Structure 1
C-alpha cells in the first residue's frame, strides 16, 4: 500500500458563511470539501445551533500544503475580524492522492 502526505485544513465558523465560503474554496482551487454541523464553546460563547444565528459548521478540505496555506491566508484576511472562525491544519496520509 502506497501512501502520500496531504494537508487537512479544518475551518470551524458561523453557518451563515457557508455559501460565501464555498465560493471562496472553489475560487482558491479546493478540489472538494466536507461540511458538517458543529456545536461547542469558545471565546465568543456557546454555539449550540439552538437557532440559525448561533449555528456553526465544520468544513474540511484535503489538499496540498500550498493550497491549504493560500486558503487559510485568504480566510484570515477576509473573515477573522468580523466572524467567529478558527482554522487549523494537520498533515495526513491519503491512499488516493489524485483525488486531492
Structure 2
C-alpha cells in the first residue's frame, strides 16, 4: 500500500451557507468536496435539520495543507462573525494522491 499524507478540512455550519460555500470552494481551487446533513448541539443550541436551511451541513475537503489552511482562513474571515460555523483540520492518508492536490 502506498499512502500519501493530505489534510482533511471539515466544516460544520448552517445549511443556509451551502451555495455560498460551494462557490467559495470553486474560486479557491478545492479539488472536490463532500457535503452531508449534520445534526447536533453546540454553543448555539440544538440544530434539528427539520427545514432545509435550518439545519447544519458537514463539508469535507481533502487537499494539500496549504490549500486547506487558505480555505479555513477565508471561511473564518468571511463567516465566523455572523454564522454558526466550526472548522478543523486533520492529517489523513490517501491512496490516490493525484485526486487530492
Give the shorter-chain TM-score range.
Answer: over 0.9
Residue in structure 1 matched with residue 78 of structure 2 by the alignment: 78
Residues 1:33 and 2:37 aligned together:
no
Secondary structure of the residue aligned to 2:7 is strand
- Unpaired runs of at least 5, structure 1: none
Residue in structure 1 matched with residue 56 of structure 2 by the alignment: 56
**Number of aligned positions between the proteins:** 100
CA distance in 1, matches of 2:26, 2:15: 18
Question: Which consecutive segments of 4 or more residues in structure 1 shift more than 4 A?
Answer: none
- Unpaired runs of at least 5, structure 2: none
How does the TM-score come out when normalised to structure 2?
0.96
Instruction: Report the aligned-residue RMSD.
Output: 0.7
